[in-house]
Structure 1
């Protein structure tokens, strides 16, 4: 806590904060830091949550070196402000302490959300907080989408997703796991049952193929599929990961942690061109 306060005190409180400008969702970083310095952690947490219900997750998985951290004025001649650590502390405190109340007078409009990944969860929070009747349809057994099934535990602890799931329930959202829209429950059926709108957040689960000979062989696997359940794969003692993005690094690190003795990453360009963040590399 003291170290975070020291970090907050280093902030220059810029009038035109580049950290906020380079954040894809314009997180009010100076305002949050000021509230944190004033010990207004609950208000800071509410501010972060209202701006982004997944702030606790973004504080962990966002490429900060390209966004807030990478554009901090402090970083020009020294060490940039590690705002994401402050954000994570505040956001987790907020999730652990806040108690949402289910609205007493829900609107008549019923909204269906297909998919409980980042987009589905965010829109569910927004609509549920506005008193809409929200039902989330998730094809897998737990909510989270790519956050749960595509990012390894060592990068994103899944208990955060469980806490977010709990908060959705508190707000009155209904969740139907193991329910895929299409084969049995169709979109037409949802409209027949009174849903006024449907949000489609199905995710990007189809892997990017190389379209080269050999991709169908038994010793070739797609990273996005591997990361869903690495325990069911028998990779042997030596593997090669083709690519140098964050997903490739996640696959490589997961394989190493799963007992593969030699893991190599094959990339067509130089180290300086790798798209994965430096922390991942």
Structure 2
């Protein structure tokens, strides 16, 4: 508590807070810190929750160095104010006490497909506006990639359980084990009285490398491994293809599960992963190798060809000679895409060349009454960006429903 208090005292209360401009959802950081310093923690927590329903989750998983803390004026000459720690303390302590204040019922019903960060945020925002909300989730519990794609040691599942309890208490309904596009379709939803549908189903299709050996029994994809790491017998040595956030989560999870040697491979030296997570992976024993192009996978490990880069880091040559990197198991964690069932089973619903959902500037898809938000629209982004996009979509849905009165 003393450390949190001292961090709060370091805030300069800037008139033009750069920390807020660095946050994708414009968190009112100076105002929340001011309330905290006055001992008004309940008010601070409510302010944060009203702005970002997943403030607790974002406090834990956000890359603060790139966002709020990376823009802090203090950081120019010394360390920035550790807003992430302050936000986590406030949001964690008061999650059960903040209120989801609901407007009078509109009599309108909205279906939300997917319960990841975009779906959870949208459901809370929609219920606040007086709409009835049903969330359709393919898995057995809510949370989407927050639950099945982020390791427990980074984001405790108990936090998602607390959110689920709070959302149910607010009147949000859930249909679990329900993959829309299989047994039921969006057309069925519109037929059954939902006046609007929000697609926030995320990215659940592993991106195949299309290299020989990808179907071998000692190979799997990162998102499948993270969903149930104990289901896989990795052995003593693991090769991870990719060096992004998912790949690092895979590597760290494997190390936590007792795998002795974990190596991550990439063609380029640059990575868009959170530098802190990369540093933790290194400290825990992971090794990173770059300028290596995978050519095939064998029962003894992946085969690579050396890559030559120019000064800008672009690939200029791939050598023909192959090199074996011994491994008992190979996990492919290069990228992910959306599943295509929703587009294929919904007449008129269009996607782009990458399979992502087509929406206009108001989150509207090519089907009336159907909207899109989060990674299924923009590809893999951050949790806080998914929340911000969900709020934008909810505003569009609310305006659309008013035209149906």
Q: TM-score range by the shorter chain?
A: over 0.9
User: What is aligned with 1:51?
Assistant: 51
> 1:100–1:170: 8 Å Cα contact kept in structure 2?
no
More helix by share: 1
User: What is aligned with 2:111?
Assistant: 112
> 2:100–2:128: 8 Å Cα contact kept in structure 1?
no
User: What is aligned with 1:154?
Assistant: 153
Computed over aligned residues only, the root mean square deviation of the Cα atoms, in angstroms, reads 1.5
Return the alpha-carbon distance in structure 1 between the equivalents of residues 66 and 135 of structure 2.
33
Q: Of 275, 278, 281, which residue of structure 2 is paired with 1:278?
A: 275
More strand by share: 2
Return the alpha-carbon distance in structure 2 between the equivalents of residues 143 and 44 of structure 1.
27
Return the alpha-carbon distance in structure 2 between the equivalents of residues 56 and 96 of structure 1.
11
Q: How many angstroms does 1:238 deviate by?
A: 0.2
- C-alpha deviations, 1:137-190, integer Å up to 9, x for none? 111110000000000000000111011111111111111111111222222221
Q: Does 1:215 align with 2:196?
A: no
- C-alpha deviations, 1:220-275, integer Å up to 9, x for none? 211111101011001111011122111111000101111211111123333xx232
Structure 1 runs (4+) deviating above 6 angstroms are none
TM-score, normalising length: structure 2: 0.66
Return the alpha-carbon distance in structure 2 between the equivalents of residues 77 and 209 of structure 1.
45
Unaligned runs of 5+ in 2: 279-405
Unaligned runs of 5+ in 1: none
Q: How many angstroms does 1:100 deviate by?
A: 4.8
User: What is aligned with 1:184?
Assistant: 183
TM-score, normalising length: structure 1: 0.95
The SS at the match of 2:206 is: coil
Q: Does 1:26 align with 2:48?
A: no
> 1:102–1:172: 8 Å Cα contact kept in structure 2?
no
Return the alpha-carbon distance in structure 2 between the equivalents of residues 277 and 164 of structure 1.
25
